[in-house]
Amino acid sequence: MASIMRYRTGVVAYVALKTNTTYPIEEGDLVYEASGYAYPANHQSDVGDAAANRAEFAGKFAGVAAHKTGLQSGETSFKLTTDPGYTLVAVSGDWAYECAATSWVTGDLVGVYNDATINSNQKVAKVTSVAEAIGVANVPYNALGTSQTEIIVSIRSKLVHNSVSGQ
């Protein structure tokens, strides 16, 4: 998926995580942290059904990639002259993501979209379990309770102390 600037509002804090050039990251990707490295959501191994995959990702959710790192599939060049070896990851703020047509209210739990085998790097889904949540919906007043295909998510990174689960 292409790099998309998804930031909408809120105070944003960033952390720097090392990157592995085998797993390129696009701006706006939902990323998780493993052993100090940032990985895009679709890199996570399948651990069962969609709920289990979402819970696994939520438990390692780092945040939103602030910039592109590495060559994507089919690319032959990249504008940065050198790969810095790290990416900045936003651990707070409100970010807009695509979702299946769903009715939302502010405070609904949001998780990474999973088709039962692979996570999406830039799509989310409504979830009912805190264990699967990476944030909460922040719905504009005029959209409350109506079907939306894009939702603003107040992310809750596991790298800070205000995660959805409180851990």
Query: pLDDT digits over 85-118, tens only?
Result: 788 999 999 999 999 999 999 999 999 999 988 9
Q: Does residue 146 contact residue 114 with C-beta atoms inside 8 Å?
A: no
Question: Mean pLDDT across the stretch 118-139?
Answer: 94
Q: In the chain, what are the domains?
A: 7-155 (2.40.300)
Q: What's the CA gap between 80 and 96, in Å, rounded? A: 26
Q: Is the pLDDT of residue 165 over 80?
A: no
Q: Report residue 72's pLDDT band, with 50, 70 and 90 as the boundaries.
A: low
- Quote the pTM value: 0.86
**Poorest-pLDDT segment among 75-79, 82-86, 100-104:** 75-79
Q: How far apart are CA 88 and CA 74, in angstroms?
A: 24
Instruction: Tell which wins on pLDDT, 162 or 124.
Output: 124
CA dist 104 to 82, 96, 115, 131, 140, Å? Answer: 42, 13, 20, 19, 10
The first and second tokens of residue 19, run together, are 């990157």
- pLDDT the model gives residue 81: 44
Place of tokens 């105070």: 11
d(CA 77, CA 92): 31
Interstrand relation of 61-65 and 86-90 (parallel, antiparallel or unpaired): antiparallel
pLDDT digits (tens, 9 = 90+) for 138-154: 988 888 888 999 999 99
CB-side exposure of 45: number of CA atoms within 13 Å? 2
- Triad 6, 1, 29: Cα angle to 5°: 45
Could you say which DSSP state residue 25 is in? B
Q: Are 19 and 35 in contact (CB under 8 A)?
A: no
Where does the chain have alpha helices with state H? 50-58
Tokens of 80: 């940065």
Closest CA to 139 of 108, 162, 167: 108
Please tell me the predicted confidence (pLDDT) of residue 7: 63
Contact between 19 and 85 (Cβ < 8 Å): yes
Task: Considering only residues 96 and 21, tell me which one the structure prediction assigns the higher pLDDT.
Answer: 96
Quote the pLDDT of residue 117: 86
